[in-house]
Each structure stands twice: as structure tokens, then as C-alpha cells.
Amino acid sequence: MLSGLCFIGGQWQADTEVTFNAINAAEHTKLAPDFTNCSSEQLEQACLLAEQAFVTYRKKTVQQRSDFLNEIAEQLVKVETLLVERTPLETGLPQARIQGELGRTVNQLRLFANNIIKDASIIAHDTAMPDRAPMPRPDMKLSQLPLGPVAVFGASNFPLAFSTAGGDTASALAAGCPVIFKSHSAHPGTCEIVAKAIEIAIDNCAMPKGVFALIHSKAYEISHSLVKNPKIKAVGFTGSYRVGMALQESIYQRKEPIPFYGELGAVNPQLLLPGLISEKADSVAQEFVASMNMGCGQFCTNPGLWLVSEAEKATFESVLVDKIQSSPAQVMLTPAMLNAYQSGCENISKEATLVAKGQEQDKKATTHLFVTSADAFINNAKLHDEVFGPASLIVTYKDLDQAAQLIDILGGQLTASVHGSTDVINENEDLIEALSYKVGRLIFNQMPTGVEVSDAMMHGGPFPSSTDVRSTSVGSQAINRFLRPICYQNSAM
């Protein structure tokens, strides 16, 4: 049974009578139970307990932290049935997707658990040189320290992998930082199920009670109070540009600046080099439509912008139309997102030409494909906006010089893909190099959807795709966001 309560200091509690409900994504009806908004007093308590827990948790050995992460993973496996029952109701995502995402979440935890065991505590060591002239050199060791309590915000589109025990939480706990997790109001029941698994892991591993807290709230002031709280030392966020920038503004008001790791989305341009469509139009079109429809287009790496040679536009459109028109309507994560998607498509239709759209059904999203020219795109900022959902915009370029102009005006992106033959790719190194400076991950002859959790993954990019171009929110390097370097000079440790 779900309680609808916040989890603070090892206790499930409520301090207000103000509540909200999750919404059935398919039926647009309220789901039980009522979830209680976190009060200002509860928030302060959670931050205080996290600060106190930090003193204990940071002294745990890497083996103890590793065991803790592995125990969370084990407990998550045990609640798979509960998640498969609840999460599809709150998100509209199919059971198979939830099972797959749970596996990814478990694997993320185990990846960090394994890595912190094998990583050396000393990054670099300059041995003393007492006889060096004209000045001796002291012994210096470079290591890392955890930052302190971290605020993590759940993402709507990944209710497990970017949520309660997702990548931000896993990397922060691995680093030695307590976590205060702000649930996403679209799937609070899912968040509670996962938080209860973490609760068991805390008890089984004898971790301090304040090492993890779950707070619910639909009140914006709670989110802003959380990032302003002086006990919070870093923030992990995945969501919209508007909300991310609002949180960033609140952080700017702090006396002590802290890092804000915001992943804010992208249009993820697909550069189709000349000759590709002539050679294999149908297979490329099939891959693109499948990618743009995956998860109802609700991936932050959804291919929302396709750069296509003007000479090959007609051929490409001819094979795309049937594939777009046969695309089934899909349930979106929330009614609000569906409304925003429909408004976004309506806005683009005023600026670009509709090529084709998919099947229509009440309370579901319809796939849309639009087209415009490079000149129109360059001169119309309205065409640059991301439409979160199964919609994409083809922009036709006259030649590769104009393609370079399009790349030049793009904002920062999470990903971009280059599609073409090996010879054509090799002939356009300058164009591809320019594109590399716009993205965090540059892909060749593959679609961007599908983010691998691995050592080499980079999920981030230049602003506005993320707020810190130097960091990733996915993969083993994500732990570095919540660590800071420290040099020990003449230390016997």
C-alpha cells in the first residue's frame, strides 16, 4: 500500500493537509492515494539530517558504500512486480519499458558500486624532492572529497533511471554524498516504491538515517527552497529549460555558489550528407521514424531536426510519408505534456510545412513531420524550439556551405548524428569538426536514442542542452560531479 507520505530521517511522515494526486496517463483521471506536500519545516529537517548524516557517511569505507549501492540494487529487483503494476498507470509507458528501465537502474547502481572499489583514492602523487635546487619540492598527493548533501530532482520521462534511485542519486551516494530527492509529481507512487527499497537498504547496511530523503510537493517554492538551502552543496536536475533556468536563478541568490548540473533537453540534429538518400532512402527513413516515435518521442535524445540536401528532399519525403501516416497515436507521460506537445505542433505548423502526420486518437499524441528551408530556419528563431514528443523538422540545405551555416547557428545539443558514406564523411572533416563543438556526443550512422550506461558515455553538452559542459549525467564519470579535488602536502596518509 502506498502511503503518500514523505520519507525523512528514516520515518514516513506528513506535516500538512495539502495534497495532490498522480494522474492516470492514459485515462486522465486521478490515481489514489493522496500525496502530501512537504512543508517548509520538513524540508529544513531533511536538510539538517542530511548534513548530520554526511559526517558519518563520508567516513564509510568504499567497500561499505559499494555494499550499500549493491543492496539498493537488490531491493529494487524485489519490487519489480509493484513497479510494473504502478508505473505504467502513472506514465503510460508499457510494462516492457518499465522492466528494461529497471534493469538499467539496477545496472547503474552496480556500475558505481564496482567502480568505487577499484578506483584509487590518490589520483596523482608528486614525490618529495628535498635536494632540488633552487627550492626543494614537498610531497604532494591529489585526492578527492565528496561535496556534501545533494538535491536531486526526478525526471518525468525516465521514472526509474533518472529518478529516485537513478543516475544522479547513484553517483551522489557513490561519491559519499547524502541525497534529498524531490519526487516528480507525475509519478510519486513509483518514487515511493523505490524509496521504500532504499529504506530497507539503509537499515540492512546500517547507514545513517539522513543519508536519503524523499519529499513530495507540487509547490514550486519547495523546489526553490531546497536549492537555496545552505546545507545543500550540489543539485542534479533533468527537465525543461524553463524550470531548469528558474532553479538556476534561485541558486544564484545563495550566499555560497554551488554547482547546478541541469540537463535541459535538445533537438539532436541529424546531418544527412549528400548521396545517402539516393543510396538507401527507405532504410534511413525507417530508422528515423522508429527513433522519433520511440517512447512517444519523449527522450531527451529524440531526433527533432533533420538536415537534408535540397536535391534529395523529394525522394526522402516520398518514403517518409507512408511511414509517418502509419505511425500509431501514443499515450504521453501526462495530460499537461500532451497539451504542450499539441500546442508546439500547432505553433510549428504556422512557420513550416506539414509533410505528414500519423494516426489520431483522443488523449494520445499524433506523430508530426514538418519541412522548411535553410533560409527560413536561419531567419526564424521560432523554428529552433524543441517540441517534446514525436515531432521532427526537416531543414533542407542547398549545399554543404549552407549546411555549415545551419550548424553554426545551432545552440548546444546533447547529441548529433552524421549520416553518410565513409568517403563523404572523410571529405567533410571541417564540417563535422564544427558540429562536434555543438554537442556532447557525436554519432556516426546511428540514431541518438538509446543511451549506454558505461565508462565512455557522455550525456551532457554545451548550453542550453546542459548547464555544465564539462560533466555527464550518465556513465561512470558522473560521480565526478559530486567530488572536489584536494591536495595533501607532506601528508603521511
* pLDDT tops 80 at residue 493: no
8 A C-beta contact, residue 179 and residue 211: yes
C-alpha 420/C-alpha 147 separation (Å) is 44
Q: How is domain 269-444 classified at the CATH fold level?
A: Aldehyde Dehydrogenase; Chain A, domain 2 (3.40.309)
Residue for grid cell 548550453: 463
HSE-up of residue 318 (Cα within 13 Å, Cβ side) = 8
C-alpha 218/C-alpha 20 separation (Å) is 7
Question: Is residue 300 annotated as part of the catalytic site, yes or no?
Answer: yes
The per-residue pLDDT for 38 is 97
Rounded average pLDDT over 432-458: 96
C-alpha 424/C-alpha 415 separation (Å) is 20
The pLDDT-based confidence of 16 (bands split at 50, 70, 90) is confident
Quick: pLDDT tens for 185-220.
Answer: 999 999 999 999 999 999 999 999 999 999 999 999
What are the strands of the beta sheet with 260-263, ordered from one edge?
11-13, 6-8, 212-215, 179-182, 150-153, 234-238, 260-263
Quick: pLDDT tens for 166-187.
Answer: 999 999 999 999 999 999 999 9
C-alpha 414/C-alpha 466 separation (Å) is 8
C-alpha 247/C-alpha 273 separation (Å) is 39
* pLDDT tops 80 at residue 269: yes
HSE-up of residue 224 (Cα within 13 Å, Cβ side) = 12
Quick: pLDDT tens for 276-320.
Answer: 999 999 999 999 999 999 999 999 999 999 999 999 999 999 999
C-alpha 46/C-alpha 37 separation (Å) is 14
Strand partners, 486: 143
Instruction: Provide the grid cell at 217.
Output: 510537493
Exposure of 143 by Cβ count < 10 A (0-12 exposed, 13-18 middle, 19+ buried)? middle
β 269-272/305-309 pair status: parallel
6-264+469-489 classified as CATH 3.40.50.720: no
Rounded average pLDDT over 50-75: 98
Query: Which pTM does this prediction carry?
Result: 0.96
The catalytic residue among 71, 90, 101, 263 is 263
β 368-373/234-238 pair status: unpaired
- State the sign of the Cα–Cα–Cα–Cα dihedral 442, 447, 448, 454: negative
Domain spans in the chain, listed from the N-terminal domain onward: 6-264+469-489, 269-444
* 3 state DSSP class of 120: coil
8 A C-beta contact, residue 153 and residue 236: yes
Question: Is residue 85 annotated as part of the catalytic site, yes or no?
Answer: no
Strand partners, 444: 418
The catalytic residue among 296, 300, 317, 345 is 300
Closest by alpha carbon to 294, among 135, 189, 448? 448
* pLDDT tops 90 at residue 120: no
Closest by alpha carbon to 168, among 156, 157, 153? 153
The per-residue pLDDT for 450 is 84
